[in-house]
Amino acid sequence: MAAREVRIIFAQVLERVRTLDPANARRWFDQLAILNFDGGSLAVGCPDQAQVQYLQDHCREVFTRAAQQITGHLVVVDFCLATAPSRLASAAESPVVGPRLHPDYTFENFVVGPSNRLAHASCVAVSQSLGNTYNPLFLYGSSGLGKTHLLHAVCHYVRQAALGVTVELLSCEEFVNRFILAIEEGNMAGFQAQFRGVDLLVIDDVQFLSDREHSQEEFFHTFNALYNNGKQIILSSDSPPAEIPSVEARLVSRFNWGLVARIDPPSFETRVAILQKKADLRGVEISDEVAEYVARYVQANIRELEGALTTIYAMSVTERQPISRALSQRALEGQIRLASKNIAIADIINVVRRHFNVRLADLQGKRRSQSITEPRQICMYMARALTKHSLEEIGGHLGGRDHTTVMHACAKIADAAAADPKMKALLDELTKQITQAVQS
Ligand code: ADP
Ligand code: MG
């Protein structure tokens, strides 16, 4: 087959991949080169090892499917490292240099804002001078706020900037598993050599050490060996050192020796910027209006923010519509309907109760003051909107009220929402909180 023809086929395959799997498609797919296509097998070359791994981990199936759809034949797809045309190495043969890194998780792709400024700056500082600035560097924050991203970014940086530096990056769970395996195989010497000989040790989610005394002991010795040799240690956790349950005091104290940096949930502006960045990585354009809508919609967790973007993008691809505010709204509200399968009336009551700061006994009781009736009616309305329960069942959860009372409440709140944007906003906010409470 002529080279030009092969290139055209490959361009079609890439386009098909983007529509089949919008969540995993990336802008850099444009840089992929077709190395060889002999009808039955397709070799795809990537400029970077992390990209090879990403494609192997997330995209093998979709590339195979796309290639089969485009060519009409069974095609086996292989991803290879191809730094220069003359130096090809199949990913399977070439030794994996250092840890597996996610190609998205670089400093370049990390949006800095007030919530993560210190964590970001300390990671940059440490990358530029291993072992000499903050040691250990300890990052903590809730799930989905960018800890793993920053740890990978340090490793990307070091891999590119400092040749010959040895790096280990792994989750704490992996560390513990390898430790257990080493004991089983009677190969503690190998285990120790692997971790005590590196220039940079990065361990993600060290809260996993909680209650694992034997692993803590080993980790303690690993830590000391590296620290005493001036080697860099970076750790992450979902809570500050002293609040990780059941970790021995001597480890907690060491975690605090260097710098402890907290990551907070991002502000609205940072969320908008992150969405723009994530869209750009996928080669997708989103308007400020859409980014702002989504950033208001998802607040606490960046992983979910990204999930929302993926949902919207997927809908725009399947419907062949541009990403508008209206489409985004439809995509995200569809998610709510999906989530609502699992919503119980008790979840609704909990969220409403917390919002209005009223007691369950009052919601279920006889009092008819406005401060109680309104939350009670909102509970009924939301239960009607978000669950499949009957009017009787809903009344039953709220102090045994009959179905006409529930019907009246629903009508009243619906009217209020139609007349008053504040009420509409409140209902939207409560809906969001309820679905999030159910999903988490
Ligand atoms: P954690 O390890 O804290 O649970 P991750 O590092 O896995 O969180 O981040 C979850 C997702 O959010 C990842 O896709 C990551 O790229 C993204 N993310 C988090 N913070 C940022 C940021 N400041 N800029 C860009 N992406 C971010
Ligand atoms: Mg993580």
pLDDT tens for 25-35 read 999 999 999 88
Distance 301 CA to ligand 1 centre (A): 9
Kindly state the average pLDDT of the residues 114-122. Answer: 97
Shortest CA distance to 162 belongs to which of 135, 132, 196, 128?
128
What is the reported pTM?
Answer: 0.75
Give the DSSP H or E segment for 81: strand 76-84
Strands 76-84 and 200-204: unpaired
What are the structure tokens assigned to 412, written together? 């009243």
- Does 110 sit in the ligand 1 pocket, CB within 6 Å? yes
DSSP 246-262: T--HHHHHHHTSSEEEE
How much is the pLDDT for 412? Answer: 92
- Does 275 sit in the ligand 1 pocket, CB within 6 Å? no
Kindly state the average pLDDT of the residues 184-201. Answer: 94
Q: How confident is the model at residue 162 (pLDDT cuts 50, 70, 90)?
A: confident
Kindly state the average pLDDT of the residues 97-117. Answer: 92
Contact present, 281 and 149 (Cβ < 8 Å): no
**DSSP E strand stretches across 163-295:** 167-171, 200-204, 232-237, 259-262
Kindly state the average pLDDT of the residues 238-249. Answer: 95
Phi then psi for 39, rounded to 5 degrees? 95, -55
Q: How far apart are CA 11 and CA 234, in angstroms?
A: 41
How much is the pLDDT for 325? Answer: 93
Residue 113 identity (one-letter amino acid): G
How much is the pLDDT for 89? Answer: 43
Q: How confident is the model at residue 380 (pLDDT cuts 50, 70, 90)?
A: very high
Kindly state the average pLDDT of the residues 93-114. Answer: 82
- Does 303 sit in the ligand 1 pocket, CB within 6 Å? yes
- Does 120 sit in the ligand 1 pocket, CB within 6 Å? no
How much is the pLDDT for 94? Answer: 37
How much is the pLDDT for 428? Answer: 86
What are the structure tokens assigned to 315, written together? 């809908």
Owner of token pair 């009217």: 415
| pLDDT over threshold 50, residue 265 | yes
Structural domains in the chain, CATH included, are 3-81 (3.30.300.180), 117-262 (3.40.50.300), 285-340 (no CATH), 345-439 (1.10.1750.10)
In 10 A of CB 371, how many CB atoms? 11
- Does 144 sit in the ligand 1 pocket, CB within 6 Å? yes
How much is the pLDDT for 11? Answer: 93
Owner of token pair 């949930």: 265
The region of weakest confidence among 89-98, 286-295, 345-354 is: 89-98
How much is the pLDDT for 419? Answer: 86
Q: How far apart are CA 82 and CA 138, in angstroms?
A: 36
Give the ligand at the shortest distance from the Cα of 115: 1
Mutate to test the pocket of ligand 1, among 105, 112, 143, 145 (most ligand atoms within 8 A of CB): 145
- Does 187 sit in the ligand 1 pocket, CB within 6 Å? no
Kindly state the average pLDDT of the residues 385-399. Answer: 89
Residue with CA at minimum distance from ligand 1 atom 20: 146
| pLDDT over threshold 70, residue 369 | yes
DSSP 333-352: HHHHHHHGGG--HHHHHHHH
Contact present, 70 and 9 (Cβ < 8 Å): yes
Residue with CA at minimum distance from ligand 1 atom 19: 146
Cis peptide before 375 (omega within 30 of 0): no
Distance 68 CA to ligand 2 centre (A): 35
Task: Say which residue, 98 or 3, is predicted with more confidence.
Answer: 3
Mutate to test the pocket of ligand 1, among 149, 202, 206, 310 (most ligand atoms within 8 A of CB): 149
- Does 143 sit in the ligand 1 pocket, CB within 6 Å? yes
How much is the pLDDT for 93? Answer: 39
How much is the pLDDT for 436? Answer: 80
The region of weakest confidence among 43-47, 109-113, 298-302 is: 298-302
Give the ligand at the shortest distance from the Cα of 282: 1
**Partners of 76 in the beta sheet?**
41
How much is the pLDDT for 119? Answer: 98
Give the ligand at the shortest distance from the Cα of 306: 1
What are the structure tokens assigned to 397, written together? 């959860």
Distances in Å between the alpha carbon of 199 and those of 29, 130, 251? 33, 8, 20
Q: How far apart are CA 205 and CA 200, in angstroms?
A: 16
Give the ligand at the shortest distance from the Cα of 152: 1
Residue with CA at minimum distance from ligand 1 atom 14: 303
How much is the pLDDT for 323? Answer: 94
Distance 147 CA to ligand 2 centre (A): 5
- How buried is residue 74: exposed, middle or buried, by Cβ count under 10 Å (0-12/13-18/19+)? exposed
How much is the pLDDT for 337? Answer: 61
How much is the pLDDT for 440? Answer: 65
Shortest CA distance to 333 belongs to which of 421, 420, 428, 416?
428
| pLDDT over threshold 60, residue 361 | yes
Q: How confident is the model at residue 115 (pLDDT cuts 50, 70, 90)?
A: very high
Task: Say which residue, 297 or 187, is predicted with more confidence.
Answer: 187
Q: How far apart are CA 226 and CA 196, in angstroms?
A: 6
All residues at 6 or more sequence positions from 320 whose CB lies less than 8 Å from its CB, including other chains: none
Q: How far apart are CA 235 and CA 261, in angstroms?
A: 10
How much is the pLDDT for 257? Answer: 96
How much is the pLDDT for 39? Answer: 75
How much is the pLDDT for 100? Answer: 87
Q: How confident is the model at residue 1 (pLDDT cuts 50, 70, 90)?
A: confident
Give the DSSP H or E segment for 140: strand 137-140
Distance 148 CA to ligand 2 centre (A): 4
Q: How confident is the model at residue 84 (pLDDT cuts 50, 70, 90)?
A: low
- Does 145 sit in the ligand 1 pocket, CB within 6 Å? yes
How much is the pLDDT for 22? Answer: 86
All residues at 6 or more sequence positions from 333 whose CB lies less than 8 Å from its CB, including other chains: none
Owner of token pair 């990780």: 244
Q: How confident is the model at residue 339 (pLDDT cuts 50, 70, 90)?
A: low
Kindly state the average pLDDT of the residues 340-349. Answer: 84
Q: Over the stretch 204-226, which tens digit does the pLDDT of each residue have?
A: 999 999 999 999 999 999 999 99
- Looking at mean pLDDT, say which of 6-20, 35-49, 220-234, 336-350 comes out highest: 220-234
Give the atom of ligand 1 at the shortest distance from the alpha carbon of 238. 3
How much is the pLDDT for 336? Answer: 63
Kindly state the average pLDDT of the residues 174-189. Answer: 94
- Does 277 sit in the ligand 1 pocket, CB within 6 Å? yes
Contact present, 343 and 431 (Cβ < 8 Å): no
Kindly state the average pLDDT of the residues 13-33. Answer: 92
Give the atom of ligand 1 at the shortest distance from the alpha carbon of 266. 23
Kindly state the average pLDDT of the residues 192-207. Answer: 95
Q: How confident is the model at residue 36 (pLDDT cuts 50, 70, 90)?
A: confident
Strands 87-90 and 76-84: antiparallel
pLDDT above 90 covers a percentage of the chain that reads 70
